[in-house]
Chains A and B, each alone.
Chain A
C-alpha cells in the first residue's frame, strides 16, 4: 500500500523499486459502464460443445475449397486422394466420429470484451474443464503429455493452449481449434535479415513446404507470420490459419505475397498426401505486424487437410 500523500520512488520489502504515481482522478461526472456478467459454467459448456463439434466436422470453408480444387489437380492419384478426403469428412459428420484420430492440441483463442465480467470461476480453469469434458464425452483422443521429457499422458487432453486478448465491448468470443501434431511438427520460424526481404520470406516458406512434404498431410493451409518479435510472429502464423480459406489478407502487401506464394507452393509438386501433384495447398494466409529495424521474423504454421476449428460468442 502506498502511504498517504507520498509520491515518488520507494523500495518495497522485496527490495524492488516501486514507482508511485499521483493518484488518478476520474473526470467528473464519473461515467461508469455496467459490466456484463458471464458465468464460468457457460464458458465450460461452450468449449465442451465446440471441441466435439469441430472434431466431427472438418471446416465447411475448407471442404468447399477442396471440392473446387479437385479439377485443378493433374495427378490421378492426387484427385482420388482429394475425393477420399471429402468422403472421410462425410463419414465423420454422418456417424459422429472424429475425422482424424489426432484430435490435437486444443488451441483456444479468447477475446474478452473489457466490459465483460466472468463470475462463478476462473476463465482458464473453465476452458480446461470444457476441454476435459469434451474430449472425454466426445470420445476424442487424448494426446497431451504433462511434461515434454517425462511424457506422461494427462488423459483428458488438458491443458488447453490458451491465447487471451482483451478487446473492446462486452462479449466473450471463443475460437477452439484442434491442431494435429503431424502438421504442427512441420512448422518453422526464422529471424531473417531485413536485407533478405520478400525473396527471403518466400524461400523460407517454400523450404518449409518441401521439407514437410507428406508429413503435414497436404493439401494444407500455409499460415505465415511476418514481423513482430519471436513469439508474436509465431502467433500470427497460427492465427492466419483460422481465416476463412482463401480470403485475402486486408493488407495489400500481404495479399500480394499470399497469391505469389500459393502459386509457388503449388509448383513444388508435393501434391495431395505427398504422392505428387499440383494441389499442395488450398491457400497461403499471411499476417503481418510491425517489427524492429534490425529484424525480419518469419514463421510458418502448417494446417493439415483435417482443418478443424469452431467459434462461439457469449
Chain B
C-alpha cells in the first residue's frame, strides 16, 4: 500500500498537483459541506451576479448530508454521498471560484476529470457507508449558509486526519478505474 500523505486546508494548486490517483491522504483543517441543493443555489447566485455566503477558493467541498447529532455530539453519521449528481456544477466552480478539492464517492464525468487537469484540483474518494466511523474525525460542525436546507445546508467542519484516497488527480489518473482493471479477472485468460 502507498505511503500516507497529509494535507491541511486550504491547499494550493501546487499541492494539488503533487497528489496522484491512488494516494492515501489524511486531511486536517476545514471542510465545507455541500450537495445537490446547495450546489444549485450557489450556481444560481453566481448567475445572478450576487455575492456568495462562503469563499471556496483553495477549499475542499465534502459531499455529505449528515444525520442529526445526538445531544452533546458534534454531528451524526457523516459519510460521503454519490458525487456524480454534482458533476454538472463542478467545472464552473473550479474555474470561477477556485475550488481546489472535493470529497465524495463514485465515478466523475469526463468534463469534471478534464477540469481537474485544467485547473489543478483533486477529487478525493471516501468510503461510502462509513458514516459512524468517519464522524469520529469531525471535531466541530456549524452551519455557515443555507440553514433552511436542513441536512443539505452548508456546514463548516473542522476535521482531524480525515481519511481519503485520491480518485481523480490533475493528470487524468483514476483510482477506481485503475483499481478495477487491476483486479478484473478475464475468464478466457484463466482458461488459457
Tell me the A residues contacting B by CB distance below 8 Å: 74-78, 80-81, 84-85, 87-89, 91-92, 95-103, 139-143, 151, 153, 155, 180-182, 185, 213-215, 217, 264, 267-278, 304-306
Known: A84-B130, A101-B64, A275-B175. A214 touches B70 (CB 8 A): no
A selection of 25 A-B contacts at a CB cut-off of 8 Å is: A74-B183, A75-B179, A92-B131, A96-B70, A97-B67, A97-B76, A98-B131, A99-B77, A100-B131, A101-B76, A101-B78, A102-B65, A139-B70, A141-B65, A141-B68, A143-B151, A180-B129, A182-B106, A185-B82, A215-B84, A274-B180, A275-B165, A275-B175, A276-B181, A277-B179
User: Would you give the shortest CB distance from B10 to chain A, in whole angstroms?
Assistant: 25
Whether the Cβ atoms of A213 and B181 lie closer than 8 Å is no
Known: A74-B183, A141-B65. A274 touches B176 (CB 8 A): yes
Main secondary structure of the interface of A (DSSP, over half): loop
A95-B132, A97-B70, A267-B187 are known contacts; what are 13 more A-B pairs with Cβ within 8 Å?
Answer: A76-B1, A96-B70, A98-B76, A98-B132, A99-B131, A100-B130, A101-B66, A102-B65, A182-B82, A215-B106, A267-B185, A276-B182, A278-B185
List the B side residues contacting A153 at CB < 8 Å: 150
Closest chain A residue to B82, Cβ basis: A182
CA distance A98 to B178 in the complex (A): 32
Known: A213-B106, A214-B176, A304-B129. A97 touches B181 (CB 8 A): no
CA distance A185 to B1 in the complex (A): 31
CA distance A305 to B105 in the complex (A): 14
CA distance A264 to B184 in the complex (A): 10
Number of interface residues of B (CB under 8 A): 45
B7 at the interface (CB under 8 A from A): no
B69 at the interface (CB under 8 A from A): yes
Tell me the B residues contacting A by CB distance below 8 Å: 1, 37, 64-70, 73, 76-79, 81-82, 84, 105-107, 125, 127-133, 135-136, 150-151, 165, 175-176, 178-187
